[in-house]
Copies of this chain bind each other. A is one copy, B any other.
Amino acid sequence: MSTRTEKTGETGTASAELALDLYRQVTRIRALELLLHRYVKEHGFGGFWHPGLGQEAVQAGAVSALRREDYLFYAHRGLGYALVKGMAPEVLLGDLFGRTGGSVGGKGGGTVHFVDPELGVLGQGGTLGSNFVLGAGAATSVQLLGEDRVVAVFFGDGAASRGTFHEAALQASVWKLPVVWICENNGWHLSAPFSAQSPTEDVADRAAGYGMPGVVVDGQDSVAVRAATLAAVERARAGEGPSLVEAKTLRIRGHYEGDPQRYRDDIADGLEVPRDPLRILRERVPAAAADDLDAAAESEAEAALEAALEMPKADPGIVTEGVWT
């Protein structure tokens, strides 16, 4: 079994078309992030919103390497995963606000859960690390059924410490399951810096122990993330087993919106994104096209928010539905 640890900082090449497509996704996520930031600040909302501001390139780059039929287990930070996989933004916001028009029919809200089996969006475990075993299990189904699908599992640098990673990663390698482990390393497990809670510099350093490739990419560069993920996806699709892709990114905001972050002094409480993925992409796309995409993304986000807020709140009757079939 091949084992390598590659640390690439380069951007890789990308066709103009690809760059434009990635720009579109990154700016769509960004527009939603900024809008939600404002909305939550002004109106509050019941629940916990974990902003993904600044991490758009990881979500856009990695998910764009998947096909429609591939499965996705997403993490708790932002809505980008599902947005890029094809879910409508008003549905995602409907879930966030606990509205009937959300994909889980009003049962979401707070730390948002959304789902779309048709698009392969399969959910999220509220207990960090439960995605690992679920993802490996889904990949076992794929293998059993002889399907041409790959399973992508997103997780943070913090969740990487869970024992479920070990159990799932070992078994997935032994069975050569079609899984891609995608680590969004934003440098923080809530208030604990990754650097203080990892004995190695990179999460990817742990891949070799599981006999799988581990790659580190610049998580602000969506083209690089996409390329690394695509390589891992192709390997999985070819029946060669799992890989780990670690994207180095930044958590711009608090763990949840409202987190005073007294534990942190590396960043101001602003909206500025250092090494902004949009700026990095702008070098590859025509300015006018980018401007248009920005504008479209903003309208999309605004329309989605409006639509979501118009959706009725869930009917109380649903609380007892869906426990058993």
Contact = CB atoms under 8 A, between A and B. Distances in A.
Contact of A174 (B162, B163, B197, B212): B197
Contacts of A165: 163, 166
Contacts of A171: 161
A206 interface: yes
Contact of A167 (B1, B163, B200): B163
Nearest to A214: B209
Given A163-B166, A165-B163, A209 B198 contact: no
Interface in A169-185: 170-171, 173-174
A127 to B, nearest CB: 13
A142 interface: no
A285 to B, nearest CB: 38
A196 B161 CA distance: 25
A210 interface: yes
Contact of A161 (B1, B167, B197): B167
- Interface size class on chain A is 20 to 34
B162 A167 contact: yes
Contact of A198 (B162, B174, B208): B174
A43 B166 CA distance: 42
A6 to B, nearest CB: 16
A250 to B, nearest CB: 22
A164 interface: yes
A300 interface: no
A166 B162 CA distance: 7
A163 B127 CA distance: 15
Given A205-B209, A208-B205, A208-B208, A199 B166 contact: no
Given A161-B171, A199-B211, 11 more contacts: A161-B166, A161-B167, A163-B164, A170-B197, A170-B199, A174-B198, A199-B210, A200-B210, A205-B208, A206-B209, A208-B208
Interface of A: 1, 161-167, 170-171, 173-174, 196-200, 205-212
Closest 3 CB pairs of A and B: A163-B163, A199-B211, A166-B166
11 contacts: A161-B166, A161-B167, A161-B170, A163-B165, A166-B166, A170-B197, A173-B199, A174-B198, A174-B199, A199-B210, A200-B209
